[in-house]
Chain A
Amino acid sequence: MLEALLQFRHRRFRRDLSAYVDDMLSERACRRLEAHLDSCQACRQELAELRVTVEALGSVPMAEVPRSFTLAAAPVAEVRPRPAARRLEFGLRLATATAAFALALVVVGDFTGLPGGGEQEEEEMPAMLAPAAAETPAAMEAAPVETPEPSVPDITETYREEPAVGADVSEEEDRGKETTEGAEVEEEAEADVAEAQAVAAEEGDGFSREEVVRWLEIGLGAGVGVLVVLWAFARLRRSIGNRA
């Protein structure tokens, strides 16, 4: 048992002899080996033979080169063949990421009620316009009542009160005035509708959902555009590097 243990230690120390020759042993391992060498003649002999071997190898002269190996012309830069899949890797990743983002946008839009699908959009569009539409009839009704109508009865009444002064002329003037007044009423009504819509838009969430969708589309488009530009720039740099 003791003999086997000693043999094991002896083999381990023999393995360390090469590193000991090169001074590559730790201080602790070095001390242990030197202690072993003091008591082991076989290891001392092996160490001496090892030193002779290393010295003999070191004494071998270097052969002179038969010719100069300098290059007459620059070799063509190595272009490592890349599989097509790897070449398209970035483009495919970009396309996949864009598709995934667009899909996620649609799904999120479905759940949060943003107009994403055609049917929903059709259903929601009236609802979106509803606040404005609900307010416009009132505005249209209110507008004629407030401004033009009081003047119209006045005019008709005055003309009715003066029948003796050329009834035909007064009737024509009356018709003409009615049309001009009517046009003014319509213009004012339209202005009111636009005003009502603007007010409705401002009084809502601060900005309409149409604007939200539009800005999302612009953001998505700009993001994809930036990614494409970055990709093209990276490819350009790589091709310049390969050429160099």
Chain B
Amino acid sequence: MTVADEEQLVRSSRKGDLDAFNTLVQVYQGQVYNLCLRMLGPAAAEDAAQEAFINAYRRLSSFRGGSFRAWLLRIAANICCDELRRRRRRPAGSLEAALEAGSPADVSSHVAGPEEEALRRELGRHLQQGLAALPAEQRLAIILRDIHGLSYEELTEALDCSLGTVKSRIARGRARMREYLMARRELLPRRFRLEE
């Protein structure tokens, strides 16, 4: 979908065209759901993603142009942060356990072979554990940058902060993830192991 198509769909959605909005939902639901999954775990991810799209439809009038994906992910990120705050106030279980249970690596790949698939699952589990150990704002920055591939400009919109803050959060998050993974380097697939 081109930028012009997306803009047209946003314009139609703002006029109340639900079909146009649902086209946008179909384009971005994977990214929104995956963000919620990595931030909250599988139990809450579905509800959070649905809430994000409902809120997005309601707040379409507040979209001021720019990256629609960043705007949408920002809504999802805010919902995730609210949920994490609620959990901190009423801790019902380990957040890490909740996140690990919903490791995205559990999803089977149709392309990779069984061995590659097992390695991918293992790596995904480690990465999810490492991400779960990060502070929420660093986790959000790392997920959006390194997994979802947002540009720094999009990140300033999605995280609602300056470029300097974005760089700082990414640098700190990556440094902690590096320490986490290097402490378990024997568990990493061969291609991720550095020659000593």
The interface of chain A, by Cβ under 8 A from chain B, is 15, 17-19, 21-22, 24, 46, 48-50, 52-71, 73-78, 241, 244
Contact = CB atoms under 8 A, between A and B. Distances in A.
Interface in B32-69: 32-34, 37, 46, 49-50, 53-55, 57-59, 61
Contacts of A53: 174, 177-178, 181
Interface in B127-154: 127, 142, 145-147, 149, 152
A48 B53 CA distance: 39
A62 B178 contact: no
Contacts of A57: 127, 142, 146-147, 177
Contacts of B147: 57-58, 60, 62
Contacts of A74: 16, 18, 57
B183 to A, nearest CB: 11
> Mostly helix, strand, loop or mixed at chain B's interface?
helix
A76 B124 CA distance: 39
B107 A61 contact: yes
A58 B109 CA distance: 15
Nearest to A74: B18
Given A48-B194, A71-B18, A54 B61 contact: no
Nearest to A14: B175
Given A71-B18, A74-B57, A18 B170 contact: yes
A52 B18 CA distance: 43
Given A53-B178, A62-B104, A70 B194 contact: no
Given A68-B29, A78-B58, A62 B174 contact: no
5 contacts: A56-B123, A61-B104, A73-B18, A74-B16, A244-B15
Contacts of A58: 146-147, 149
A78 B59 contact: yes
A60 B105 contact: yes
B171 A64 contact: no
Interface of B: 15-16, 18, 21-22, 25-26, 29-34, 37, 46, 49-50, 53-55, 57-59, 61, 104-107, 109, 120, 123-124, 127, 142, 145-147, 149, 152, 167, 170-171, 174-175, 177-178, 181-182, 188, 192, 194
B46 A67 contact: yes
Contact of B34 (A49, A56, A62, A78): A62
B66 to A, nearest CB: 19
A18 B138 CA distance: 13
B124 A52 contact: no
The 8 closest A-B pairs by CB, nearest first: A18-B171, A57-B146, A78-B58, A70-B22, A63-B104, A53-B178, A69-B29, A63-B107
Contacts of A67: 46
Contacts of A64: 30, 107
Contact of A61 (B33, B46, B61, B109): B109
Contacts of B55: 78
Contacts of A49: 178, 181-182, 194
Contact of B25 (A50, A62, A69): A69
